[in-house]
Structure 1
């Protein structure tokens, strides 16, 4: 995606939307955007694991969706019962509401994508499980509002090959900011991309001070409310590292020309520096509804999507260089982005494995990135370009197994 890749501006009226990961943070906010803008969006389908049947049922009834995907097949009956209960709670008599079609099981999300024709698929699924749905959604020709950065990182070449011009639209606040700033110049005028990072809960700490970090401390993010995996990734700066790889893929700018700077106020979401010395920044209070709304309606803005910055009181924005010794994940990602092939998938899968171990208190905080680095160093066999999704899955399986082995050796 570049500044000259517009989505189809001829689309008019209400856009139909499919929300994958509807009960997660991104999914619930996307549905809130749709609720606030019924003249712009209609939610045709939703997908979730099924671990919260009541929430999924409430979404289905509120938006009168055509179909639902429930990844956990054992949760289907609970979801059906919850839909009946929710309909009764809202005062519907039997027959007054339309029961959505329900798909269940591991392939249910793909079946949902095939069954429901929509203008936009928002992929807010967690982790690399979002890769197959991203590819399937691109195959339908719909715009893909991508919050699942892992699917692009893991399947980079496959995803880029499958995507048409302007079909991939970023949802991450940083990449949304870059997409907006890139409108200010031609692709050949771009000098550098600048990703901003809040610094997480451990900004200013040395590597030695990070050794005894607890799970509770790592989950206490100062700015954003996110799921546990993303929050830990933010604390290790791995989240920003994955965003660097994603930015290289989305905007065709090499990692060596992508900087990371710490901006604790989280108001400037990212910047683009142009060849004439100009830098354009996108600024707004930290509210994900803005980039979500823009992605759903790209390239058009949604009025009132989120509160704007105010200028009637003193405000201070600060920017600090990243401490690469305390947070080595960014340079590790730069290496993976430069090598390409399946190496970003290896990095991502190893990190997912180590974050899960940390959340179970089976490894230390600094061991997360240290172990991922060891896995990446041992991954010479995975530098080649993936031929298909099976190559990606094999690389991820190897990386998870290698990370688990190294972590076990470290604890023995």
Structure 2
């Protein structure tokens, strides 16, 4: 059986490293043909490249190219390069490097990048006809119709655990039989807190997620529930279900990853331990499964599942995201861009926790009141311009708050 050829974007991040865990234990099924990373961890990137004998490696920071080269030489020496058993990869560097990797000759492109920067690689992978295992939800949300118009049926396979769960529950089902999608949320580290109790939250507290081990941006987005708002937009775009039929329910243990409720009253639940390697494995192998991707739930142990309604007063991010998604056009790009700026400001100590979503809401409100925002001629240039303008405005508001 020919191995599935995989290109991984964001290989040194949380999704990328876990994807390589999956490939490591299923080496007979997968071949890594390219890796792309930001360049902040050259030693890890070098280890990945040589362990998996990857022919092409890309870094976004051109200034990191020399560090990656030196790390490759050092790693090769440790692995017996002098014996001639290893090949060094070809290197690409620069802001367009990940987009070039997305076009390489392969079967699956796993986009595990973080943020709107993943949009151009997503478009490139779809244009090249690759199956896109999509963990970079922002590219779909920001690109919206641009991404959907490029994608052929089944070309995008969701890697977010919630959307992977929905895709599994919807296999063989008819859209007209779906009453609603139920996207589960852990509630993050501040579940049950009032808005007043969130005023003095620190970045360290926001990073202490109770069930998931994720990168810093997604972890903080989970604390504000911005991540869940983005997932509501993503679910709408992936499954063509109206926003009025997509709800969020809080499920602290994160064992039920999402649910589909059908018109006859039945509900299909996808349950598994909170381990991203399962949806990653499905993303790489879809529609097949990878045996032993993760340990299953231990059904011999007593267990209970709790579900709670979302507290919209303390966590208004889902409502704002729904507003942006229903408006469409460039509004989701504005919502996401403003949030990325505010998260950076919060981590840097320049913005309080509540100020993240408050500022995002202010930027979004200004955008929606602009008559130009209602124009329907969506283009990549308009999306990128809206993204850039939202970042500038969010930075201005952050500075004013300081």
Q: Does 1:395 align with 2:401?
A: no
CA shift, 1:193, in A, is 0.3
2:44 to 52, 55, 59: 55
Contact 1:324–1:331 (Cα < 8 Å) also in 2: yes
CA shift, 1:184, in A, is 5.2
The residue aligned with 1:354 is 342
2:21 to 32, 35, 47: 32
The residue aligned with 1:22 is 11
Instruction: State the Cα deviation string for residues 102-122 of structure 1 (Å, max 9, x = none).
Output: 1111111122233x2000000
Distance in 1 separating the partners of 2:102 and 2:354: 39
The residue aligned with 1:405 is 396
Q: How many residues align?
A: 399
CA shift, 1:28, in A, is 0.5
2:128 to 122, 140, 144: 140
Instruction: State the Cα deviation string for residues 292-343 of structure 1 (Å, max 9, x = none).
Output: 0001000011111001011111101100000010000111111111110000
CA shift, 1:97, in A, is 1.5
Distance in 1 separating the partners of 2:257 and 2:376: 31
The residue aligned with 2:375 is 384
Distance in 1 separating the partners of 2:39 and 2:342: 25
Contact 2:166–2:260 (Cα < 8 Å) also in 1: yes
Question: Tell me, what secondary structure is at the counterpart of 2:36?
Answer: strand
Matches within 5 A, 1:240-279: 240-279=228-267
The residue aligned with 2:185 is 197
Matches within 5 A, 1:249-398: 249-380=237-368, 381-385=372-376, 387-398=378-389
TM-score (norm 2): 0.97
Contact 1:124–1:146 (Cα < 8 Å) also in 2: yes
1:111 to 100, 106, 125: 100
- My pick for the range that moved more, 95-104 or 38-47, is 95-104
CA shift, 1:409, in A, is 2.3
Q: How much is the aligned-residue C-alpha RMSD, in angstroms?
A: 1.2
Distance in 2 separating the partners of 1:185 and 1:249: 17
Contact 2:330–2:378 (Cα < 8 Å) also in 1: no
CA shift, 1:407, in A, is 2.2
CA shift, 1:356, in A, is 0.7
Contact 2:102–2:122 (Cα < 8 Å) also in 1: no
Distance in 1 separating the partners of 2:303 and 2:215: 29
Distance in 2 separating the partners of 1:386 and 1:62: 47
Contact 1:340–1:385 (Cα < 8 Å) also in 2: no
TM-score (norm 1): 0.95
Distance in 1 separating the partners of 2:97 and 2:192: 45
Question: Tell me, what secondary structure is at the counterpart of 2:154?
Answer: coil
CA shift, 1:390, in A, is 1.6
Q: Residues 187 and 13 (structure 1 numbering): CA distance in 2 closer, same or farther, change over 3 Å?
A: farther
Instruction: State the Cα deviation string for residues 236-278 of structure 1 (Å, max 9, x = none).
Output: 0000000000000000011111000000000000000011111
Distance in 1 separating the partners of 2:380 and 2:52: 33
1:80 to 69, 75, 82: 69
Contact 1:342–1:384 (Cα < 8 Å) also in 2: no
The residue aligned with 1:153 is 141
Distance in 2 separating the partners of 1:19 and 1:73: 19
The residue aligned with 2:211 is 223
Identify unmatched segments of 5+ residues in structure 2.
none
